[in-house]
């Protein structure tokens, strides 16, 4: 009986790590490092699948587990740290004090309604499912140092930089690379938040100004970065000989944080075609963040995901190409990019949660083709269509490619008319996602 290999969502796909671990072209040290990263992913076997399954269970279904949610309440310790920091400007301190007081007030009301005696100065955060969750007016960022521990119970680690603080100095971290990781994680999380707010008026990743917590220096030579849905934070490894530089890749950070956005818009089951669409949505918004930071119109962009993540000497240009899936890399040490670019090559598989990373290239190319046909910046028309589709309530949890395609075509017509709908339909047809007709 075939077994399923489930993985927490991470920027480096499991098939690439497997290739690194199995290739005889690599030294045993490299293969062991890849196996280490791959085994860690396996230890997180069902996290993302479980979270999205919980999110998509219809309300009121008997026996359904309550969703495991950590979002919605800014950690009080983080707010207290910001409110008392001399390194933060006065406006940021005042905002943090205001939101901290709000949390305390809401908690007091909640405790009163539950008949719980409130102790003085108690600041313990409670579930976001409480009757009156706090709604801060500011999205807070904080970056922590995991000190190369791979023990999740120790996350997030030691706080190094919080919202409003200037870039960390040598007094905090002595190594140039460490400084870069910490500040890049902070700055690029800000770029992602700015994109969602400025382009789609979406506040942070839950539309309620949820804090964005990041931990860098996770594990020893850990060759990946991921959004952990259960502890609601970003986690970055330092990488090794072939893969790394994750904090400097704004598209990678955009990709991972978009998984959290998807939780709050159209949760897609993380398996099979719906799982590939889940990955596709993250690539789509990750690439738009990158293009905005670089001020690139669709026809001038490279459409590469994670180009900073391949270390010097690797025969390749990125982790994935949305313009030409299957061409991102070809190196004997970890093989050739296996992504197909057309639905005719889709095959049911038990690997990688049903090929969620493998087959995301098909809808990725459809978005690329749509953006090029529309012209201008990718987020002006194609991006708006995809975003409004996610907001429409028309995407089922187990959406197929054709269902998602139909929804984007309908939204294109609604927003921009028949010609736009024809552009989007042609893009999907060109990648083999074609609506069947019956004579």
Q: Which are the catalytic amino acids?
A: 256, 357
Three-state DSSP string of the chain: CCCCCCCCCECCCHHHHHHHHHCCCCCHHHHHHHHHHHHHHHHCCCHHHHHHHHHHCCCCCCCCCCCCCCCCCCCHHHHHHHHHCCCCCHHHHHHHHHHHHHHHHHHHHHHHHCCCCCCCCCCCCCCCCCCCCCCCCCCCEEEEECCCCCCHHHCCCEEEEECCCCCCCCCCCCCHHHHHHHHHHHHHHHHHHHHHHHHHCCCCCCCCCCCEEEEEEECCCCCCEEEECCCCEEEEECECCCEECHHHCHHHHHHHHHHHHHHCCCCCCCCHHHHHHHHHHHHHHHHHHHHHHCCCCHHHCCCEECHHHECCCCCECCCEECCCCCCCEEECCCEECCCCCCHHHCCCCCCHHHHCCCCCHHHHHHHHHHHHHHCCCCCCCHHHHHHHHHHCCCCCCCCCHHHHHHHHHHHHHHHHCHHHHHHHHHHHHHCCCCCCCCC
């Amino acid at each position: 009986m075939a077994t399923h290999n489930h993985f927490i969502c991470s920027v480096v796909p499991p098939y690439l790590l497997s290739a690194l671990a199995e290739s005889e072209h690599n030294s045993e040290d490299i293969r062991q490092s890849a196996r280490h990263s791959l085994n860690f992913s396996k230890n997180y076997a069902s996290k993302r699948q479980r979270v999205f399954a919980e999110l998509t269970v219809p309300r009121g279904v008997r026996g359904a587990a309550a969703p495991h949610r950590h979002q919605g309440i800014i950690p009080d310790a983080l707010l207290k740290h910001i409110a008392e920091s001399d390194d933060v400007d006065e406006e940021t301190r005042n905002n943090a004090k205001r939101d901290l007081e709000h949390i305390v007030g809401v908690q007091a009301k909640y405790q009163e309604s539950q008949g719980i005696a409130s102790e003085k100065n108690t600041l313990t955060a409670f579930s976001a499912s409480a009757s009156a969750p706090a709604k801060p007016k500011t999205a807070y960022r904080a970056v922590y140092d995991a000190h190369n521990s791979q023990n999740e119970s120790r996350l997030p680690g030691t706080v190094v930089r919080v919202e409003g603080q200037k870039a960390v100095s040598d007094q905090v971290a002595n190594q140039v690379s460490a400084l870069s990781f910490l500040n890049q994680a902070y700055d690029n999380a800000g770029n992602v938040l700015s994109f969602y707010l400025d382009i789609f008026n979406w506040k942070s990743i839950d539309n309620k100004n949820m804090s964005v917590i990041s931990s860098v220096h996770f594990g020893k030579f850990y060759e990946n970065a991921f959004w952990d849905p259960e502890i609601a934070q970003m986690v970055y490894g330092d990488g090794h000989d072939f893969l790394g530089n994750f904090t400097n890749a704004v598209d990678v950070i955009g990709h991972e944080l978009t998984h959290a956005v998807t939780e709050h818009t159209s949760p897609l089951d993380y398996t099979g075609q719906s799982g590939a669409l889940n990955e596709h949505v993250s690539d789509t918004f990750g690439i738009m963040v990158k293009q905005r930071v670089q001020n690139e119109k669709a026809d001038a962009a490279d459409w590469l995901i994670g180009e900073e993540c391949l270390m010097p000497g690797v025969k390749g240009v990125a982790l994935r190409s949305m313009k030409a899936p299957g061409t991102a890399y070809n190196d004997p040490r970890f093989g050739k990019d296996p992504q197909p670019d057309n639905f005719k090559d889709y095959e049911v598989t038990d690997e990688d949660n049903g090929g969620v990373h493998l087959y995301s290239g098909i809808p990725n190319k459809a978005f690329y083709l749509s953006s090029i046909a529309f012209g201008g910046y990718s987020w002006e028309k194609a991006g708006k269509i995809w975003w409004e589709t996610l907001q429409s309530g028309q995407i089922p949890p187990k959406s197929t490619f054709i269902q998602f395609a139909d929804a984007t075509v309908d939204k294109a017509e609604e927003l921009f008319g028949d010609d736009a709908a024809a552009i989007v339909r042609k893009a999907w047809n060109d990648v083999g996602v074609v609506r069947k007709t019956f004579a």
